[in-house]
Chains A and B, each alone.
Chain A
């Protein structure tokens, strides 16, 4: 059994240098490079909490607001799941990570729980978060298009879309759309 909090501290030391550029004060981000690839005794109890409502994700009425913040990181104090050998690593990404997309060499991840309401710019090579951009309420979908990162803010009223400049990680424009925007193309 592997306690994630202890694990976080150990792994964070390894990645501290890379993380120092942007997130040195935030030890919540960790990477398990060995997860799944070796038998580290991890138990697969992730998702066994009573609040897990997998399979309801596409319920158009059960939007992000229907997910209680109590659901977020329900297993954060437990064990990492053993998801099999094809899963090379886990990244701890608290506060309800939802949609994600690659743009300008980075991975952009919407985080919707605990009023995080941001988009994390994540370096897929070093596997360290680079920056957080404040979006609207309950960001859901993420799209890379026209040289920008677009994020639907599902619980803004009315709904909005944030246009983020991937070079600066800043919101260039917030565009009002209709109620509960989600997917994009």
Chain B
């Protein structure tokens, strides 16, 4: 898990509930994801660069620091690639795991803070509760939902996208079948 206040990530062994490793990363790590035998950590407060730390999931060693853009927050594995939300740029970025560079970015005008990979789409939670459905093959936002709240969590199950609204004390049930793909 990402320890935002300690600029570190902790690894827990679920077999004995012990922290087996604590690894220093960049400033303000918020989210992390697993993919390509690595842990990818978004460093939200990292200087001027705003970057992602790549950690070897076997050796726990830091392998790369990748400049991605402003305000990297959520980071997920989608379509075999690592995608990171750039809250400061209103974009999502795909990281090339082969050379540790940003391979492409997609504009998300309504903002991208939290991400979910589901129903062959990348879903971004942005400003003021706006949810964007992104078709990464097309490289564009294909549909949006405007809840008007402050949404934070997003998950998929029972053929629905579930989104929590922190401020209004609500949870929205979004049917992806009723949205453009």
A interface list, Cβ under 8 A from B: 44-49, 51-55, 57-61, 63, 67, 71-76, 80-81, 83-102, 107, 109-110, 112-113, 124-125, 127, 141-142, 145-146, 148, 150, 152, 154, 159, 161, 163, 172-173, 175-185
Contacts and interface: CB of A to CB of B under 8 A. Distances in A.
B150 A54 contact: yes
18 contacts: A46-B147, A47-B168, A52-B149, A55-B111, A58-B74, A58-B87, A83-B146, A86-B178, A88-B174, A89-B172, A109-B171, A152-B1, A161-B12, A178-B3, A179-B4, A180-B5, A182-B31, A183-B2
A47 B149 contact: yes
B147 A175 contact: no
A182 B1 contact: yes
Interface bin, chain B: 35 or more
Nearest to B76: A185
A178 B5 contact: yes
A53 B152 CA distance: 12
B31 to A, nearest CB: 3
A150 B27 CA distance: 24
B126 A55 contact: yes
A121 to B, nearest CB: 13
A185 B1 CA distance: 7
Contact of A175 (B19, B27, B111, B154): B19
Given A54-B149, A60-B45, A179 B3 contact: yes
A52 B129 CA distance: 10
Contacts of A53: 150, 167
A81 B150 CA distance: 12
A159 B148 contact: no
A158 to B, nearest CB: 9
B83 interface: no
Interface in B125-181: 126-129, 143, 145-158, 160, 162, 164-176, 178-179
Of the candidates A60, A88, A99, A142, the one having the most CB atoms from chain B within 10 angstroms of its own CB is: A60
A73 B22 contact: no
A54 B4 contact: no
B39 interface: yes
